[in-house]
Structures are given as structure tokens and as C-alpha cells.
Amino acid sequence: MTRTKSTAHAKDGADQSIPAPTAGNGGEWHQQATAGMPPLTTNQGLTVADNQNSLRANPRGPTLLEDFILREKITHFDHERIPERIVHARGTGAHGYFELTKSLAKYTTAKVLTEVGEKTELFTRFSTVAGGSGSADTPRDVRGFAVKFYTKEGNWDLVGNNIPVFFIQDAIKFPDLIHAVKMEPDRGFPQAASAHDTFWDYISLTPEAMHMVMWVMSDRTLPRSLRMIEGFGIHSFRLLDAAGKSTFVKFHWRPTLGLQSTIWDEAVKIAGADSDYHRRDLFEAISAGNFPEWELAVQLFTQEDANAFPFDHLDPTKLIPEELVPLQVIGRMVLDRWPNNFFAETEQVAFCPSHLVPGMDFSNDPLLQGRLHSYLDTQLSRLGSVNFHQIPVNAPKCPFANNQRDGHMQMGQPTGRVAYEPNTLLATAPRELTASGFRSAAIEETGTKGRIRAETFADHYSQARQFYRSQTAFEQAHLASALVFELSKLEHPHIRDAIVGHLRHIDGDLAQRVADGVGMASLPPAPPTAVLPEERAPSPALQIIGKMKDTLQGRSVGMLIADGSDRAPIEALRTALLAAGATVKFIAPKIGPATLADGSAQTIDGQLAGTPSVLFDAVAVLLSADAAAKLVKEAAAVDFVRDAFGHLKAIAVDPGGQALLKAAGVEPDAGVVAAAKVEMFIAAAKTRQWARESRVRTLA
């Protein structure tokens, strides 16, 4: 049997790169570049005419079940790895509850959204996307944010991310996206990183991804804590009232601690100091009774509202700015219990966007339409059985009954002779309930079916521009620097050229900063685009720095002390920090109690070499003269203060601490405070010292 290879390689093993694209959306370049290459086919040898679009009832209609090409492609992708999740493999989760504070009875019959004061049990899992289960917590990556509500009417899974948009518009491209961002198949690296050729090559040919790229290169993908990230359902869903009238809804999770991120150098060093940094942070917060909490907010809008938007809300690469449709807070989520067994619960939990309850329905978002198939199919592969719903963490808390029987790992013992509906032999057999059961929205669909994307999906740059221009100057510098870092890792210059060309559609200054950062002599041309970018009003809601809360709640302060340190300033700082809501940990050259100047003992939480300042939001250095004289010769101690200063953190010091700063070459600024000025230190510790950054770091 002869098998046709889908890719070709030079005889000496070198890459056979295709010519650089001249257009950002495939098109004419694609036809030219693929001339002479083997055709793309299904596994049955059928030549594929369109690998960019799912088959839909009409350009803005639902995806059709008959799309066997989509199903074969995604089914194969879903089953590529066993048993680890293909994406979101590195995760952590917790139990908790949702409490409704505002009824949506005007819009839906779903009891979880109508019964004010009702507490619904839930399980939430946070995750990185690109890395495997053994990767670190802190790479630059999107964070999954998935919640399973155990409602009275069945399980509702709200499966989203900490970013409100996505890379692609159509689910048929998801395998391509993940194949591009994952480890390159011929070398098995990089792990949990997007700074490589295959990812950026794909992005350069997928201009619809540029809005998501702005988010990924921003500080949003370097969270300080999982307790300090927002969550988004991404897609438009529908709510249905008792009469069947539907209203569109988007879901938002907003952390009560506010948003906070690390900076790149800090995230890199945290990965080395504590690869479980986010997992440990969540565990310690719950164990201490500092239960993480989020508000659930919704954006509600009608089809008439949507018709007036300057974008298509069914396009998952677009968001609805809060200034256009304000958020309404309707409830809160509290995580108050860690799993009893990590594998049994956090690893075996199975989320599916298709899990919803009466009073809810889907939209025609083509990415969501594909997810409705993909997630269930993935769980069948990963958990090995159609009976994965019987695993305790996945089982509904309400009664459930149907005629589905047997199958691998069947845990139940159904009785009786009847396993079908309708029947006349068993009066107690489960039957459909037309009045209270699930109903789909009665939406009329017209048009010509085909593999075609709606023209309303053609604007790829306007919201990317809006996002970038909504950031503070500090955040814009971080974003530009992230792009420089990522693109500097590429082997193929034409890919860098293509990306910078796309950036010209977003912001000319951004394109120039990145071009300068990667050493381009001149700006490459911008690719042709079907729709010219529009100017949109900046949205402050898209910032992080501008939205940071003026608080120490949820923050951690590290105190570097040693034998001979003075008890009085230690206690004064500790008392004030705890009163402000911070967690305080003591670091010393040796683990075990430190003997202070008054002879008392102070319990130590971490040894200096293994507990660097990157693990804290602010630090205090309180040392005797003798201890300081020793520690100025200790690299770990010098790095402790040098990194704290370089990472823009507030630092409290006594005379011994000042000696250590001098040894580190740190020139104090307003964020370096005398230990005696407790209130001044607390005020400085609530934020980063952003004005310092230009002194310690070169940014794009």
C-alpha cells in the first residue's frame, strides 16, 4: 500500500519553508504557495476544499451536524493524548458555592439564576492552556476558568478563560491553533511557551487572532494569583423566559481582591523558586480561611441591540465593551473547600459547554458550536467511558434518570425489563416532561448552507487597536516588550516581518517599538485587509494597573530577619500588616526559630536561599549590624533586595537593611521606606512602584 505524506522534508533534514506571505488572510498567497503540494484530505482520502470554515446553515447560522470533515478533524484531535487533557492539563481546583443576589426571572426560568439567596454547590478548576500537567504555574499563558454548578435542575458548566476573546472564529481551526502553540513535533519543545516559530507562523496567517494576541502579550497572562484573575464565558449564550423569549447573555467573573499581575522577569524567577506558586497560593488561602471570592456579572442584550453593535457578537474574537453594555452583578462565588483527593476531583472533573439547564440555550457562535461536540468527545477519551458522569465530582446533586445502560465502567445497577421510552410496561419509568424540560430557542434560520464566513466577522483589527490604546503607558510598554521577547526567539525572519506588518494595522507606535526591539531596519508592509480598522473609544475596563484595588487583602509580605533582629519594629510592622489584611511570612538564613535581640524566639517560615523575594508582594529587611555584615556577602540575601527593587516592590528597612541595599547597589526611592514609618510602608506596599521601572529595566 502506498501512503502519501502530508509534509515534505529536504534530504538533509532542513526545513523547506514556503515563501513569505504577501497577504494576511491566506487567499491568493495560499493558492500560489500551495501549488505543487499534496492536497489536504480527510482520513478517507477525500480532498478538502475549505479547511477554514465549518459547514453552517447560513453565514451566521449554526454549525451543521452533517459536517463530517469538522467531526473527523476534531474527533481525531480530541483523542490525540491519553489520559492527560490536550489543553488545560496543568490545573488546580476547589469546591465552593454560588449565591444569587439578583434575580433574572425576567429573562430566564433557570432556578440557579432566579432564586435569590439560594446557595448552589459548585466546583471550580483553574488551569494553564499550553503546558502539560508537569509544567510550571507561571508561564505567559491564558488561564482556564471553568465552573461546574450542581443546580436543582442538573449540572451547568460555565467553561471559560481569564480572557474574554479567543484566537479563532471557527472551531474547525482549533486543532491547527493548538498544534501550532504546543511543543514542535520534531523536537518536543518548547514546553508551555508560545515563543517559537510554529505558533507565530500560524498567527501571521490568521489575522483574526490579533485581538487575542494583544491580550496574551499583556499582563493578563502573568497573574499574581488565581484569586486575582477575571473569568469570562467568552461566547454569547441565550436566556429563555417562560414564554420562550430569548435574551443574549455574556458571563463575567470579577475577583473581589481585584486584578494583579507579575512582571515577566518575576514570573520567570517564580517558576524556578516555586513551580506550584499559584496552586500553593490557592491552597494556603483556603486553608487559612481567606476564601477566594468572585462576583458573577452579566451583560444582557437583545437581537435589536446586537444589530446596532459595530461588530458581530457571534464572533468569539470580539468582546462587548462594558461601556456599551454595562455589567450587572447578580451573585457571588466563594471557594471554601480544597479537594479531599486531587486526582479523584481536580483531575477527573469533566467540563462540557453543552451542560446547561432549562432556561438557557446556545448562540450560533461557530466556535461554541464546535465546542459542544469537542468537549464531550474529549471526556469520553480522557476518562475512558460514557459513564464519566458517575464519577462523584461529575455527578449531579439532583436526581437523574434515563434509559442509558451498561457501557464501560458502569457503576449503577439498573433493574427491570424496560430500558426505552415510551413504554406501557413500567409506570415508574422516566418520561419526557414537555412543560418543564429543556427547550431550545425558537429561532428562524434562513439562507444558503455552505462553508462561508459571515462578512460581519471580517474586521480583525479594530478591537485589537482599542485594547492596546486602552492600556496605561506602563502596560503598553510591557505588551511591546513581550512581543519583542517572543519574536526574538524565531528562526525565520519572514514570520517576524509578517507579525510587525499586522501590528501596523493596530498601532503605528507599537509596530515601530517592536520593529526597533528586534532590530528591523525598516517597517515591513502592512498586509491587505478586507475591512479597515476603526477608531474605538478607549475602555478603561480593559486595564489591570488602572483597576488594581488599593488594598493589601490577599497580598503577602516577606520579612527578612536573622538572629539579633530587633523585636519592636518587627511587631509593629507585623501587627499593622495583618490589620491591613496581608499575610506575613518570616524569612531567615536558617530554618527554625531565630533568636531576637531581646532573647525571644521568632518562628521562621522560609529559609533564605529557598524563599526569594519573588514570592512576595512587598518585603521588609530588619537586621542587626552583625547579621547585615554577614549577609552582604551572601548572594541570596543581596538578590533578595535587588530583585524586590527590580520587581518594583515596596521595601521597608532598618539600618541593617540599608546596609544590604547598599551592597546590592540599590539607590532608594519613594518605595524604599524606613521600617519605623509603618503607615507609609503599608501605603507603598498596596501597589507597584511603576515610576521606578524606567530606572531598572529597558522596555520596548
- Can you tell me whether residue 656 is helix, strand or coil? helix
Residue type, 472: T
- For residues 684 and 491, give the distance between their C-alpha atoms in angstroms, rounded to a whole number: 43
Find the helix or strand (DSSP H, E) in which 428 lies: none
User: Are the C-beta atoms of residues 307 and 648 closer than 8 Å to each other?
Assistant: no
Residue 88 annotated among the catalytic residues of the structure: yes
DSSP 223: B
Find the helix or strand (DSSP H, E) in which 694 lies: helix 693-696
Residue 408 annotated among the catalytic residues of the structure: no
Dihedral (C-alpha) 89, 374, 229, 610: value to the nearest 10 degrees?
A: 0
Q: Which of 692, 635, 696 is nearest to 669 (CA)?
A: 692
Which triple of cell numbers denotes residue 544?
Answer: 489591570
Which triple of cell numbers denotes residue 44?
Answer: 478517507
Indicate which residue of 88, 252, 313, 460 is catalytic.
Answer: 88
The CA-CA-CA angle for residues 100, 104, 109, to 5°, reads 105
Which triple of cell numbers denotes residue 197?
Answer: 516559530
Residue 571: partners with Cβ closer than 8 Å, 6 or more residues away: none
Indicate which residue of 25, 155, 161, 364 is catalytic.
Answer: 161
- For residues 231 and 264, give the distance between their C-alpha atoms in angstroms, rounded to a whole number: 22
Q: At what angle do helices 174-181 and 68-78 cross, to 10 degrees?
A: 30
Rounded alpha-carbon distances, angstroms, from residue 630 to 627, 638, 666: 5, 11, 18
8: number of Cβ within 10 Å: 9
User: Are the C-beta atoms of residues 486 and 700 closer than 8 Å to each other?
Assistant: no
DSSP 244: -
Find the helix or strand (DSSP H, E) in which 403 lies: none
- For residues 496 and 503, give the distance between their C-alpha atoms in angstroms, rounded to a whole number: 11
Which triple of cell numbers denotes residue 261?
Answer: 499581575
Residue at grid coordinates 488594581: 548
Compute the chain's Rg from CA coordinates: 27
Length of the chain: 700
Which triple of cell numbers denotes residue 428?
Answer: 415508574
* Bridge partners of residue 156, in order along the sequence: 149
Which contacts qualify for 79-82: CB closer than 8 Å, 24 or more apart? 79/377, 79/378, 79/381, 82/381, 82/382
150: number of Cβ within 10 Å: 21
Active-site amino acid positions: 88, 161
